[in-house]
Amino acid sequence: MIKTVDRYVFKELLSPFLYSLLVLTLIFLVNFVIRAMDRILGKGLSILVILEYIILNLAWILAIAMPLSVLVAVLLAYGRLATDHEVTAMRSGGMSLPRIMLPAMAFAFLVGGFTLYFNTSILPDVNHRARLLGSDIYRKRPDMDIVPGYFIDNLPDYNIRVNEVTEEGLKGVIIFSKSEKREQVSIFAESGHARTVGGQIIFTLYNGEKHLLDLEKLDDYQREYFDSTRITVKVNNMELKRRETAVRGDREMTPAMMYERIAENEGRYDRTIDRMQSIINSSPLFDGDSTADIVALMDTLKRKPIEGVKTISSTTRKWNRTVDKLQSQDRLLNSYLKQINKYLVEVHKKYAIAVTCLVFVLIGTPLGIMTRKSSGTIGVAMGMFFIYWASMLAGEELADRRIVDPILAMWAPNGLMALIGLWISYQVSRERTVVNWRWIKTVFNPKNWRIPFMKN
């Protein structure tokens, strides 16, 4: 039966949670819109398409903001209760710290359950639609997306590369024809600029040279130097064209989809091991004991150096061919393992982020009681969350490189934060000082700093 105190604490958590969720979502959203502004503006998009693009990207923002909002809500709610001595009253009534934390755990369980459903069922499809729309926007008006140092290959007839984009125009322009064109054109220019007129892009180039070659008449080669020239590139996708595709990345898949991919890669891995075993069994250069561990064997196999043509023996050639075959299969093994790790990381990240709501209660409740209703509460929450998120990103990178087990990499930040939270909760329940704030203020106060061997 839900007691009055539980309903009271639950209401105390609800308001700051909703408020912080709104504020954090707006902060992340404004940051996203600013970064995506150059890809949206100047493309002639309708306001509905722009709103759709922003709303679709709102999904991953909510996935991040919900656990963080739980942490902020717990810090604010229990900080307020501690400031008004309501926590002291609860303890006087015989309530232990775990019992005081129980309404927050129930609240976090509800938010975490919704977060889990959102991350596994709604977010993958929305991420897929957001990526498709972003790609369609990029393909519209490709002249607006000239990135220095990268080739633009989505134009129908030409590939284009620019070394630098400045306010004055383009620097170091390279334009050459697609490989399927009969007449090959290569243009190198020191500078230039581009503008869109109707369904075409007009490049005006300065101080360069043009190379012309007819692939059917290779002796007909021309080279021209120019002070200025103009080239017109027809574009067929000036209008936004919406596409549908079944190809999805790992962040666009549900756990069921990713487990299917994991099973496929595990099957390919097993078949590759069988092929390696067959190669070893068919080679007279290996004895029976050398096939005990194929993966470990690949770390020791080396090609025999060939010093001269006359000194090559048939045994050396057989050995080198066998090693080449095994190394080729070993590269396949590594690629399959990387794919398996990538999908396992994404699956467990979805679960771990949902469980983070409960972990943040373990660490947020005692911190809220300690810090009370202070102005640094939001800063504490943001700092803790970014430490947690940095740990998740580091774990993901290590797991993708096969340095750390993917399950351990995704759950270790939760485990570490939970242990810290349990330790702080134990100290607070015993009314012990966790951090000596007076000592820290003394140490970091410049007035208390003294340089040795210096007189006042």
Question: Which pLDDT score, from 0 to 100, does residue 289 have?
Answer: 43
**Local confidence band at 171 (pLDDT 50, 70, 90 cut-offs):** confident
Q: Give a three-class secondary structure readout of 163-177.
A: EEECCCCEEEEEEEE
**pLDDT grade, residue 291 (50/70/90)?**
very low
Mind listing the pLDDT tens digit for each residue in 381-423?
777 778 888 888 888 888 888 888 999 999 999 998 889 888 8
Other CB atoms within a 10 A radius of the CB of residue 184 amount to 15
| Bridge-based pairing state of the strands 151-152 and 183-197 | unpaired
Beta carbons within 8 Å of 247's beta carbon, 6+ residues apart: none
Report the largest interatomic distance among the alpha carbons of the chain, rounded to a whole angstrom.
99
Average pLDDT over residues 305-309: 49
DSSP structure string for 380-392: HHHHHHHHHHHHH
For 185, residues 6+ apart whose C-beta sits below 8 A from its C-beta are: 158, 175, 176, 177, 210, 211, 212
C-alpha torsion sign, points 77, 79, 83, 89: positive
Q: What is the pLDDT of residues 15-63, one digit of tens each?
A: 999 999 999 899 989 988 888 776 676 566 778 888 888 899 999 999 9
Output 386 or 104, whichever has higher pLDDT: 104
Which three-class secondary structure state does DSSP give residue 126? Answer: helix
- Whole-model pTM above 0.75? no
Closest CA to 67 of 344, 382, 393: 382
Q: Give whichever of 26-40, 244-258, 307-321, 349-363 has the largest mean pLDDT.
A: 349-363
Quickly state the pLDDT bin for 439 (edges 50, 70, 90).
low
Of the pLDDT bands very low, low, confident and very high (cuts 50, 70, 90), residue 308 is very low
Q: Which of 23, 104, 106 lies closest to 369, judged by CA?
A: 104
- Residues, the chain, total? 456
Q: Rounded distance, CA 355 to CA 332, Å? A: 35
Higher pLDDT, 347 or 287: 347
Question: In terms of DSSP bridges, do strands 217-234 and 200-214 run parallel, antiparallel, or are they unpaired?
Answer: antiparallel
